[in-house]
Structures are given as structure tokens and as C-alpha cells.
Amino acid sequence: MNKRLLSVSLLIVSCIIIFSQCISKRKEDLRGAQFAGSAACVSCHKSIYDNYVATGHYNTSSLASQSTVRGSFAGPDNIFSYSNGTKVIMEARDSGLYQAAYTDSALQQIHRFDIAIGSGRKAQTFLSWRDGKYFQLPLSYFISAHCWANSPGFPPSYPKYDRMIPSTCFGCHSSAVGTKSVGIEGTRLSEEFEKNQLVYGIDCERCHGPAAEHVAFHQDHPQEKNGMHITKIGGLKNQQKLDMCALCHSGLGTPQRPAFQFKPGDALSDYFFPDFTRPEKATEIDVHGKQFQLFTASKCFIKSANVMNCSSCHSPHNNERDQLTAFSRRCMSCHKTESHNFCKMTSLPAATLSENCIDCHMPALPSKNITMLTNGQASPTPDSIRTHLITIYKEETKKFLAKLTK
């Protein structure tokens, strides 16, 4: 009887040990033991976390599903016709979402939506996994146009399915990607990925650094209110704060080191080689992806005595898309009547001036780098993006005044 009880007890203990190891493995962050994962932040920073999960940064990538993919999967809005006669149909099947290419009603190729890139405010593009690699699907969804359109840089005559996506792209659209192997094929870097092994979106630790030690300490010392073992963003120098954002908001540079290795406080120059192709005039810099270059070329920034940074206008933990009044009131903290640097259009009501500085001084301008071809359109339609070159735009001001007089 005792032997039987002992055997049962040993079996239970063994199961507990095995089960606890399984749980530990499941909970381990893809980036390693020094990372805690964003869920660990909730117990102490719940309100910040709840606000942040609604931001574009947090949602810049996701597992593709009916709930995360924007765009129609019902006819006729789910069909894109190429000039060679091929039709690509967005199909929702029991096994997932697909882009299926047909010629004369015969299925030629079919590729699954595996990852959605983009928060869905302006557009989304999609990745499909096969043979250890991720490939961008030929059609993206553009929110403002309410239609499927050519993915940027893809041909309008036929669906192209062979554009491989490297880890450098994931470096700004996720917080980690599972890499199986890295090699060289000819002159090209060849990477093999683990399927759907991502830390989706830009999570807490991309900006605040590894937090496992921080979490463990404060769980053991709940009375300690001073944040320990974590980077204090407020304690960084202004250039260090700028570099954190510039890592992903300064365009496609030539990398020296993987973006995933960047920690708050690091210098951007240690991760990218100098850009010698930058136009001499700030007005010639394209509005897409070059927010850092445009912002730092602005008179506001130059005259700020090196105290102005991205967080001067943006609250990184909150979704403030299209909240022009909130942004304008931040302009008012420096641009005041008594400082003699207020808006010169004094004929307009003061309330109007304080509610919208943005459309005149940071208008949405067309990008030369992102165009789309939609069904029935012979010419590309540019995508408009709000410029971060803060200056006076006479034509945009005229448009703004015309709206007010309607």
C-alpha cells in the first residue's frame, strides 16, 4: 500500500515538474530571458498599457485573421484585374485568408495571408510564409481609397509573388522575429524564419529596453516606487531620445547592425551608415518614412536649443491620430501672442487659430515613393502623408482659408 502511494506521489511530482517546465518554455520571450514581455507590464502600468494597445505602433503588425485584415473578401470588391488578364481574388476559406490568381477561371496560384503589416489606419500589406521565408503579397489594401491595389513597387501587368522580406523589415514592424538560419546566397543575404514566430507590433520593451530584471525586482519589492533596472527615458539626452524614434522614422538606410539590437540610449550612427543621398533642400525630402530628417530641418527644432524632440508633440502611449486640436495646443506652448511668434493671420478668430495649426504648417502631401494602381486607373495615384517639415505652406494655407469661408 505504501509502495503504491509512493509510486503515485512520485508520478504526481514528475508530472508537476514536467508541466512547470512546459509552462516556463511557453512563457519565455522569443528575445531571451532578459525580456519580460508586454503582459508583465500590466500589473503596475495598466492604464498606460490599455492606452498603448490602441496605438499604431503597437498594431503595426499582427497575425493575419478576419479580425485583423482590412479589406473586402466579398465580390465584387475583392477582385483585382491585371493587364495580362489575370484576376486575383481575395478569398476567405475555412483554412484562412488567401490571394488566389486565376486565368480564364483556372486557378494558377494561391497564397495565404499569414502576417498583416500596418495598423490599418492608412493601409495594410501582407506577408505569406513558405519554405522558411516570408514573401510580400502583390496586393495591399488602401483604407482611404477603400480598395485593393498594387503593393508598392509591384508590377501592374501580373501578380508577383517572389519578393522576399528580410529581417530588416521586421526590425521596424515587429519587436522580434524567429530566425532559423542566416547565410549568403551569391551576393545576397539568405534568411530562414520560424513560421509565425514574432513578437508582433512595437511593444513596451522596444522603447524601454529589456525588463525582466525590472519586473522581478518590483514583484519582490512592491513598496519601491522608483523604477529600478529599467531605462529612464526622461534621463536620456535629447539626441538619444531622437535616435530612438529615428531608428524607424528616418527611412531605409544601410544597416551596420540589426535594428532589434537597439536599446534606449544607443546612438543611431552605430546602427546605420551615413546617408550621402540626402537632398540639400529639406523641401525635396519625400514625406514617406523621413520624419526625422524633415523634423530636424524645421525652424522650430533648430531654434529650440536642442530641447525639442518627437515627444514634444507626440504622446507615445496614446492614440492621438487626427487629434489636430491636441497637437495645435502643444504648438501654443511656444507660439504665444506675448512672445510675438503667434500666427500672423490675426483676422481669424483666436479659437480657430488654436484649434488647427497643423493643416497649414504640416499638411498632408503626396509621396513620390508610394503610389498605387487600382482597377481601371491608367495612372498612379499618390499616397498623401503628413509632412514633418514644420514651415509655411502658402497653397495649403489658401485651401485652409477656403474651407473656413464655405
Summarised one tens digit per residue, pLDDT across range 18-51 is: 545 544 444 689 999 999 999 999 999 999 999 9
Nearest to 211 by CA among 48, 39, 27, 36: 36
Q: Which residue has the cell 491620430?
A: 321
Asked if 158 and 84 count as a contact pair (C-beta separation under 8 A), the reply is yes
Decide if 125 contacts 118 (C-beta within 8 A): yes
- Binned at pLDDT 50, 70 and 90, residue 68 comes out as very high
Each domain of the chain, given as residue ranges in start order, spans: 59-201, 278-406
Query: What is the per-residue pLDDT for 382?
Result: 63
Q: What's the pTM?
A: 0.86
**pLDDT per residue over 238-258, tens digit each?**
999 999 999 999 988 888 999
How confident is the model over 194-206, as pLDDT tens digits? Answer: 998 999 999 999 9
Could you tell me if 233 and 245 are in contact, meaning their C-beta atoms sit under 8 angstroms apart? Answer: no
Give the dihedral sign, CA 298/206/141/88: positive
